[in-house]
Structure 1
């Protein structure tokens, strides 16, 4: 976050939590609106009768979000499994565990990594990421490495379900670890995002995410200005 760290407010983090939860679950087909997500996460009120799975898909972001921002342990395979454990709690009995059988992505033109290879392939993925991020010289280069690792993670598809949500949480974790600006993938641009993944188009993906970072930074400033105005009265 560089010099924006001092501008982060509680209201901004609440806003970020809601948008992360809404957009990331909506990309996967969750039908709850952002207003309903606010009601669940901030007001602790269930606004209507709803599908139990959709409720937990949103609700699980609260504890996952808190874990991301309060746990300073190094980025690791165990941490990735913890992300999946939290985000899929009350949804799947195998949360936090690698897939036991092979899976596929609807419409994908490639096969995901076979189940028996997951521990080895994911370790190789993490080692490659750590090496590349260590020698990166600029923030743009770091962002490109993070996005390339996201593309590769989704192609590995290490869990039976929840790979997209876990992968997008990992990107936030990586941005925190590398002190980079946040960004949220908007559901309205779902197909642009999916095309970047399908085509392994890391360069254009990075250009787009830089624009998303600029949008996020403006939100941070706006929340800070509102906070300052209210406390200076």
Structure 2
């Protein structure tokens, strides 16, 4: 992990792809090239909606803090989650960095999201359980299952008024880097299967193959930046 964090080119590349794919899953229409222009060059390539600009720009603002937290070996807890959310939703929501105070729902879900007053306790339990299970994993495959199942549970809690998907996917990348595992960046073109996996609320062989395929491509990308460095 340290080697990847110190590879500035790779981390910038990861930032661009996280921003592009994660916001595209939520409906952002910017291309990856346009996202790269904003993050890498501070250049807005065409007339775009303010919201779409802020959505991808916020990943650039977050990146140095993400790296710093990893270098400090900061554990995922309620405060870190709210800290990340405050960047993800900067200039997009006045409630950025704050847990929800009103009930919300996930379109098409067969379950209810957590009541606002339960969120702090449920998030604490989620984080405690994440590290307990990670400590008892025998290999990286087990860690992948724990990380993705935690992501599913996070989305079921839906602790924020907005930005839950982006924050949850960011936490998944953070967990992977923290555990020295190849990051999982969900491609926008696989949105339908990814959403199906979340709704299914279980981790089967098909889902594991899906994640391993993503990681294989990510590893190939890492290797290219290592060689060029």
Could you tell me whether the CA contact under 8 Å between 2:5 and 2:67 is conserved in 1?
no
Q: 118-127 vs 16-25, which deviates more?
A: 118-127
Q: Distance in 2 between matches of 1:146 and 1:188?
A: 22
Structural mapping, 1:23-62, within 5 Å: 23-62=21-60
Match of 2:125 in 1: 124
Please report the RMSD computed on the Cα atoms of aligned residues, expressed in angstroms.
1.6
Cα distance, 1:74 vs structure 2? 2.1
After TM superposition, the structure 1 stretch with the greater mean CA deviation from structure 2, 203-212 or 183-192, is 203-212
Which whole-Å CA distance do the structure 2 matches of 1:158 and 1:197 have between them?
16
The Cα shift of 1:134 comes to 1.3
Matched, 1:210 2:212: yes
Partner of 1:68: 66
Deviation for aligned residue 1:224:
2.7
C-alpha separation in 2, matches of 1:146 and 1:78: 19
Cα pair 1:18 1:34 within 8 Å, conserved: yes
The structural deviation recorded for 1:6 is 6.7
1:183, distance to aligned residue in structure 2 (A): 2.2
Distance 1:87 1:6, change over 3 A: closer
Structure 1 residue 121 displacement after superposition = 1.2
Residue of structure 2 in register with 1:166 after alignment:
167
Query: How far apart are the structure 1 equivalents of 2:68 and 2:207?
Result: 28
Runs of 4+ in 1 over 3 A off after TM superposition: 5-9
Contact residue 173 and residue 183 of structure 2 kept, 8 A: yes
Larger Rg: 1
Relative contact order, CA 8 A, sep 6+: which one is greater? 1
Instruction: Report how many residues are paired.
Output: 225
For 1:113, the equivalent position in structure 2 comes to 114
| CA drift at 1:11 | 2.3
- The answer for unaligned runs of 5 or more in structure 1 is 229-233
Question: What per-residue deviation string (whole Å, max 9, x for no partner) do you get for residues 86-135 of structure 1?
Answer: 10011000100000000011111211111111111111111211211111
Say whether 1:80 aligns with 2:84.
no
Please give the alpha-carbon distance, in whole angstroms, between the structure 1 residues aligned to 2:203 and 2:65: 28
- The 2-side partners of 1:163 and 1:60 are apart by 15
| Runs (5+) with no aligned partner, structure 2 | none
CA contact (8 A) 2:4 2:11 kept: no
TM-score, scaled to structure 1: 0.92
Residues in 1 aligned to 2:66 and 2:208: alpha-carbon distance in whole angstroms: 22
Is the alpha carbon distance of 1:142 and 1:49 closer, same or farther for their aligned partners in structure 2, counting shifts above 3 Å?
A: same
> 1:61-104: CA deviations, max 9, x gaps?
01222211121222211000101011001100010000000001
- Counterpart Cα distance in 1 of 2:202 and 2:52: 31
